[in-house]
Amino acid sequence: MISPNLQDNCTPALDGENFFFEMGPIRPPSEGSDHSLLIRTTRNCSWNRCEFCGTYRGEKFSYRPVAEIKKDIEVARTLYEELQAVAARGGVREISSQAVRSLWAGNPRRYGESAGNLTLKWQNLHNVANWLHAGAKTVFLQDADALIMRTPDLLEVITYLRAAFPTVARVTAYARSQSCYRKSLEELSELRQAGLLRLHVGLESGCDAVLKRMKKGVSARKQVEGGQKVVAAGISLCEYLMPGLGGKDFSERHALDSAAVLTAINPAFIRLRSLALRRHSPLLAQSKEGLFTELSEDGVVAEIALLIANLHCHSYLVSDQMSNLLYGVEGQLPQDKEKILQVIDDYLQKPESERLAFRLRQRRRSFLAVYGSLPEPLEEKAELAWDALRRESPEARERVDAAIAALKEGFV
Ligand code: SF4
C-alpha cells in the first residue's frame, strides 16, 4: 500500500472518475511496447475511406480541444510523479509492477469500483510506468493524423508536453500525406523546432491507379511534394509501403511507381507492411466477391524484390510487420541493397515444398506470437497441411494455402 500522504498529493480537480487520459487504438511498431507515452490529439481518422483499412470503421472523427489534451497531459504527469515517488519510497530507481499495484490499491477514490472506466485507467497506469521504465524519452501523438490539427494548436500541445516532461527528447505522430502536403515548409519547420522529430506516413503506394482504386485520397505527386517538405523541414520521415496492394492486376506498376515516389522523397525509413485483408475493411468483402484478386505470397515477395531493385534513395528499409513473410529484408540503402535482394532470392530459389513449409511455419509463428496458442480448427488445418507436405501429396500446396488463409483471417 502506498502511504497516505501520497494519496493526499493527488491533484483534486483530476481525481476520481475524471482521472484518465484518452488512448487511441493503434501506434506504429517502433513506438510499441509502451516505450512511448501515448497522447491522443485527435480521435479516429478524418478520411476513413481507404478500402484496405478497417481500423476506424464506424468511428467518428473529431478534433480534441487543446485544453482537453492538456488535461490528459496533466493526468499523465501526475502518474509520472506518483510512480517515481512510490519507487523512491521503496528505495528502487526502476518502476516495478509492484509500484503500479501499490498505486492502484492505494487510491480507491480514483481506482475503486465506482470510479469510471477502470480498464482505461489500468492501461494509462501501465503506459506511464513502462514509459518511465524505458527512460520517458518519447511521446507518440494519436490517432491517425495529428498533422491535421491547426499548426498553432499542435505547437501549443507539443510545447506544453515538453514543459511537463523535461526528459522527452522526441515527439512523433502519424500523418496523412495529404496533411504533409497542406502544411507549408515554414509550419513543418516550426513543428520540428518545437520537438516533432518524426512522422509516420502511410504512403501505401506511389502508383496513381492503385491510390485511386484504394480510395487513398491523395495522388503520387502530392505524396512526393508532402514528403519532400517533411524531409526538408528536418523531420525524420518513416513511409509505410504496402506490397500486394495492387493485387494481381497492378503488381508491377505498384512496385515501379512506388520505387520512383520513394526515391524522389528519400525518407529516413521505408517500412514494408504487406497487404493483409483486415476485418471490417471493404477490400476483404471485395476479395470474397471476386472484385479484387490478391497476389500470391510468392508474388508479393517477387514484387518486393522489384521495388527494392528500383529504389535509388538513402533510406533504412525495415520489414518488422507481422504481415510480411520475410523478416530478413532489412538494411541501409543503397549499400545493403544486394544483401537484401539476396535474402529474397534465396527464398524464391528454394524448391516449392521448402517454400510451402517455410510459409506455413512463419505464419503459424506470427499467430502464436500474438495469441499464444492456436484454436482447434486452425490447429487441425495446419496439421492437415503438414501431413500433406510430409507425404509430398499433390494436395500440399492447396492445404498450405488454406491453412495460411485461415491463420491470416484469424489474426488480422
Ligand atoms: S489507412 Fe490511414 S488514412 Fe486510410 S482510412 Fe486507415 S487510418 Fe485513415
Q: What is the pLDDT of residues 370-379, one digit of tens each?
A: 888 888 989 9
| pLDDT of 9 over the 80 cut | no
Please identify which residue in the block is written with the cell numbers 493485387. Answer: 247
359: three-class secondary structure by DSSP: helix
- Write down the CATH number for the domain with range 4-348: 3.20.20.70
Top mutation candidate among 48, 179, 214 for ligand 1, by most atoms within 8 Å of CB: 48
Nearest to 277 by CA among 407, 92, 83, 82: 407
* 48 Cα to the center of ligand 1, angstroms: 5
* Cβ(63)–Cβ(179) below 8 Å: no
Q: What is the tally of helices (H) and strands (E) in the chain?
A: 17, 10
* 200 Cα to the center of ligand 1, angstroms: 12
Question: Rounded to an integer, what distance in angstroms lies between the CA atom of residue 5 and that of residue 2?
Answer: 9
Residues within a 6 A CB radius of ligand 1: 45, 47-50, 53, 55-56, 144, 176, 202
pLDDT for 411: 65
| pLDDT of 331 over the 70 cut | yes
* 197 Cα to the center of ligand 1, angstroms: 22
DSSP 94: S
**Domains of the chain: which residue ranges?**
4-348, 352-411
- Name the grid cell of 98: 509492484
Top mutation candidate among 27, 44, 52, 55 for ligand 1, by most atoms within 8 Å of CB: 55
| pLDDT of 296 over the 90 cut | yes
* 280 Cα to the center of ligand 1, angstroms: 13
Q: Atom 2 in ligand 1: which residue has the minimum CA distance? A: 144
Q: Atom 5 in ligand 1: which residue has the minimum CA distance? A: 48
pLDDT for 93: 64
Q: What is the pLDDT of residues 338-370, one digit of tens each?
A: 999 999 999 999 999 999 999 999 999 988 888
Higher-confidence residue of 143 and 101: namely 143
pLDDT for 80: 93
* 144 Cα to the center of ligand 1, angstroms: 7
Q: What is the pLDDT of residues 162-202, one digit of tens each?
A: 999 999 999 999 999 999 999 999 999 999 999 999 999 99
| pLDDT of 13 over the 70 cut | no
pLDDT for 220: 98
Output the average pLDDT for the chain.
Answer: 91
Read off the pLDDT of each residue in 145-156 and give the average, rounded to a whole number.
Answer: 98
